[in-house]
Structure 1
Amino acid sequence: MTQEYGASEGSTVRAAPAVGRRRAAWILGLACAAQFMVVLDVSVVNVALPSIRTALGFTTADLSWVVNAYGLAFAGLLLLGGRLADVLGHRRAFVLGLALFSGASLVGGLASSPAALIAARAVQGAGAALLAPATLTVLTGTFTEGPSRTRALGAWTAVGVAGGAAGNLIGGALTEYLSWRWILLVNVPIGAAGVLLGGRLVPGGRDGGPRPRLDVAGASLATAGIAGLTFGLAQTNSRGVSDALTAGATAAGVLALAVFVRVEARVVHTPLVPPRLLRIRSVGVGNLVLLLTGACLIPMWYFLSLYMQQVLHYGPLRTAVGFLPHTLVTMAVGARLAPRLMERTGPRTLIVTSAVVSAAGFWWQSRISPDSGYVDGILGPALVISIGSGLLLTPITTAVTSDVAPADAGAASGLMNTTKQVGGALGLAVLSTLAATDGVGVPALTAGYARAFLAIAVVLTVTAVVALALPRRPERRTG
């Protein structure tokens, strides 16, 4: 029995299509592989940066754009990418996003100059911004609401977390044993296979009738606002908060987003983010929870990486191996345990509980000292943090997407991904300021990282309180 969703004016009410179990498994694997690639490429270049600088002649100042070009395009275009999934249909958005991402990976892997690599990374980010929401809408369009969708979202979430965690490991291994170019070229054969399979397996995702109009004004404002805000936050560490470029970009981003909200609510006929979405309690509160969660879990990898390299004196590959407990436990808990617990407790209870567990893990992590070793300084807290975060992400995804009409699925998933990325950027900027120290040596560094981990524990505790405002169970809409 399929579950139908209500939709407002001009949208089509349609239940998730019934597909065979074997085809559904292929679609799930395809969506998870694409999501893994998107998240992986956020961090996979980090370990390879010294090799890239030597090979292409980057200056120290320009080298950061290998990372920032992808991140800015990804965050800035996510809302547009989500809405395009509604306009083009899920299959077309998925195939186009994957083709753009893989083609840019090929160009970047063959780049012979800094400008070519930076441009390729920006196009990669644009492809990722279309592909990431499409992977989620493909799943919500394939699996009907209930246990099957919960299990699919659990696998999707766990694979996304694994992609972020595995970036350093894969980047370090490819750079050390092959070449830095393979951190990009590895996407090409996987992407080509995904394009071929996606064209055959993925449902179209749109019924007949007039094609929705794309909100160009909203897309431009959202892209400019999020890119400006993200750029300003990215410059905070290197230039300082009072720097003219940092302050100007941040102010321009905030202004553009304010105008975007006004335009979406009062001007356009088919808004990029329909205001009705934010009036759904699970969507509005769920995105606030996701913002706070992103501000904690995304910066975690940054600070733990620095702690292992600067305090424990690990090399890049050994540091990457040190993250394996986080990756394996989070994947196992997210894919296996979280869906089962959700069937018994519902999303809200699990979000509150797992946020508290994660906060306890980060409090333990904040107790590090210059004499801490791997077992007491990394492994012990990692087990608690990973159990908490593994249980946290699946119910948040479910809560944010459960009450959304099919016509708005792409917009909702684009908003969700944007919220998470903006939360991560904001969290990293604030936490980096807290971790900064005027002292030198291992004791000063350790104290700074401990402050950052303690702040994360506090924010996750606040997240648990905010999550109490979520509905106890997703609303069942019948049109």
Structure 2
Amino acid sequence: MQTMIVIDVSIVTVALPSIQRDLDIDQSRLSWVINAYTIGFDGLLLLAGRLGDLIGRKTVFIAGVAAFTGASALSGLAWSQEVLIATRFFQGVGAGLAYAVAIGVVITLFTEPRERGRALGLVGFAQAAGASAGIVLGGVISHAMSWHWVFYVNVPIGIVASALAVRLIPRDRGLGLRAGLDVAGAALATAGLMLGAYAVVAVGPHGWNSPHALVGLASLALLGGFVLRQATARVPLIPLAFLRNRTLAGGNIIHILTTASTVPFTILIALYFQQVAGYSPVDAAFSLMPLAIASALTSLTLYPRLAARFGSRSLLVTGLTAVTCGLLLATRLPTDPLYAVDILPAITLVGAGSGIVMPAVIATSMTVPDLRDAGLASGVAATSGTVGDTAGIVTLTTAAAAHTATLLSGGSQPVPALNDGFRLAFGIAAALAALAAAMASLVLRRHAPLSTSVPR
């Protein structure tokens, strides 16, 4: 389920041209096929994570899987742009419910360090390689079948995931709603996050001078009200002491910076393949396979072996250094690349580094003294990851487009101008990854393993 949720965004992105032709969607509204999902997903993560602690992570997970699966079927059946955008919103809500508690389920199931390392390696693989796999699947399905199947493919997987969850995940009673159901705080957090997601995705195409930027200010005001509410509520949704945990706070900031650099890279390099190097969509999809393979090898084999011995800080610094080097290599990509010489080293380094970084940053973000708060920590970690990748995509694509437009207005040819825009974006991504590595080195303690306490 974790893999499918991550794949969903990129697989739909690849299918957008087919969706636009079939449903006759205006270019100005096409992005809302993605944006509606993003708003529903981002807005529910924090609340869903806390609900997992209160009413049971298994309950919230199964509800999310069911909602995601049903909305996927309806998205595949969509006969108009309005129906598709609406079902995509509810698909995002279901994905947010399931995704927010998934890591919490893993953390509470696996308390022995080596077992937990292997489990987090699988989670890291799902997150680091999911976007690449989505691009490959999107290209193949859109080419061989139809866009409807990028949604239908979720249905059997969701049914199997629900059945396995009912059977295999132990029932957890939760703390009860009275232990932390701050309705006002939940409303402020959810509205603030949804408006924030809307502002980020809307400002990109319209610019910071547009009225959409005012929505961002409203989002900040609501989130500020949420913080004040948590400081005064008798039973807060998120105790402020929770966020004063140095390792947890540092891990989430590193998570934001990491996803802001690695997720946009996967999207931009796929665009580079097609718009600059001249690859077909299918060729571009398969050209990303080494990134996914490198990520799989490091997250599934290296991370479990190294985590207990060296700790998250050392692995984060090492992995982020590899990601930074790969992104710096990408800033040198020419308009007529040789794949083995120019492209392969860059995407392999980014993939290998991501495979180590993602499980390590998840482990760091889940450092809680009491695993009864694992759902809340999971929701916070999921929120930081999605904030990072959404903001990173908008920032880097906007920077690339603006630089390209400037060069074109100055008389540059289209392909070199596009290439320079991509290279600027890769440079910004490298700076973000380097900043994350510096934070890991300076903020995190040398060896801070996760708590192995079990919920009472």
Cα–Cα, structure 1 residues 364 and 130, in superposed 2: closer, same or farther, change >3 Å?
same
Which aligned pairs between 1:120-131 and structure 2 lie closer than 5 A? 120-131=87-98
Q: CA deviation at 1:465?
A: 1.2
Q: 1:230: Cα distance to partner?
A: 2.0
- Equivalent residue in structure 2 for 1:473, among 426, 438, 447: 447
Distance 1:192 1:62 in 2: 31
Q: Is the contact between residue 138 and residue 203 of structure 1 (CA under 8 Å) also seen in structure 2?
A: no
In the alignment, what sits opposite 2:219?
253
Going from structure 1 to structure 2, the CA distance change for 1:146 and 1:255 (only over 3 Å counts) comes to same
Q: CA deviation at 1:208?
A: 7.4
Structural mapping, 1:15-30, within 5 Å: none
1:106 maps to which of 65, 73, 85:
73
Alignment-derived partner of residue 416 in structure 2: 443
Q: Which amino acid aligns with 1:445?
A: L
Query: Which whole-Å CA distance do the structure 2 matches of 1:85 and 1:219 have between them?
Result: 14
Determine if the alignment matches structure 1 residue 379 to structure 2 residue 344: yes
Asked whether the equivalents of residues 127 and 358 of structure 2 are also in contact (C-alpha less than 8 Å), the reply is: no
Any unmatched runs of 5+ in structure 1? 1-33
Corresponding residue number in structure 2 for 1:215: 182
1:3-14 pair list within 5 angstroms: none
**Secondary structure of 1:44's aligned partner:** helix
Structure 1 residue 210 displacement after superposition: 7.0
Instruction: Pick the aligned partner of 1:179 from 130, 146, 150.
Output: 146
Secondary structure in 2 matching 1:350: helix
2:316 is the counterpart of 1:316: no
Paired position in structure 2 for 1:13: none
Residue of structure 2 in register with 1:47 after alignment: 14
Match of 1:416 among 381, 395, 405: 381
Change (3 A) 1:477 1:41: closer
Q: What secondary structure is seen at the aligned counterpart in 2 of 1:45?
A: helix
Aligned mates of 1:301, 1:106 — CA distance in 2: 27
- Kindly tell me the number of residue pairs found equivalent between the two proteins: 444
Task: Tell me what 1:283 maps to.
Answer: 248
Whether contact under 8 Å (1:339, 1:394) holds in the other structure is no
Q: Is the 8 A contact 2:124 2:299 kept in 1?
A: yes
Shift of 1:145: 4.0
1:365 to 330, 333, 338: 330
Matches within 5 A, 1:39-78: 39-78=6-45
Distance 1:201 1:144 in 2: 17
Hey, what does 1:341 align to over in structure 2?
306
Task: Output one character per residue of 1:414-455: Cα deviation in whole Å (capped at 9) or x when no partner.
Answer: 110111111112222322343222223111111111111112
Give the Å deviation of 1:378. 1.8
Structure 2 equivalent of residue 146 of structure 1: 113
Helix, strand or coil: the match of 2:407? coil
Match of 2:411 in 1: none
Instruction: Tell me which of 272, 275, 279 is aligned to 1:307.
Output: 272
Using the TM superposition, give the Cα deviation of residue 229 of structure 1 relative to its aligned residue in structure 2, in angstroms: 1.9
1: CA distance, partners of 2:182 / 2:74: 30
Q: Is the 8 A contact 2:303 2:359 kept in 1?
A: yes
- 8 Å contact 2:291–2:347 — kept in the other structure? yes
Residue 73 to residue 449, structure 1, CA distance change in 2 (3 Å): same
Equivalent in 426, 437, 445 of residue 453 of structure 1: 426
CA distance in 1, matches of 2:127, 2:434: 24
Paired residue type of 1:115 = E
| In 2, Cα distance between equivalents of 1:126 and 1:182 | 20
- State the 1:209 CA deviation: 6.7
**Residue of structure 1 in register with 2:165 after alignment:** 198
Q: Which amino acid aligns with 2:417?
A: A
Deviations 1:22-59 (A, max 9, x none): xxxxxxxxxxxx10111111111112112112222211
For the structure 1 residues 214 and 208, does the alpha-carbon distance in structure 2 shift closer, same or farther, using more than 3 Å as the test?
A: closer
Deviations 1:75-134 (A, max 9, x none): 111111111211221211111111011011111111111111111110110001110122
> Which whole-Å CA distance do the structure 2 matches of 1:187 and 1:415 have between them?
26
Deviations 1:169-194 (A, max 9, x none): 11121121121111111111111122
**Deviation string, structure 1 residues 300-358 (Cα, Å, up to 9, x no partner):** 12211211111011122111111101111101111111111112211111111211121
What's the CA shift string for 1:271-324, capped at 9, x where partnerless? 332212212111111111111111111111221121111101112211111110
Match of 2:126 in 1: 159
Selected match of 1:269 from 231, 234, 248: 234
Question: With structure 1 as the length reference, what TM-score do the two structures score?
Answer: 0.89
* Offset at residue 473 of structure 1 (A): 2.1
| 1:229 maps to 2:202 | no
Selected match of 2:435 from 462, 470, 478: 462
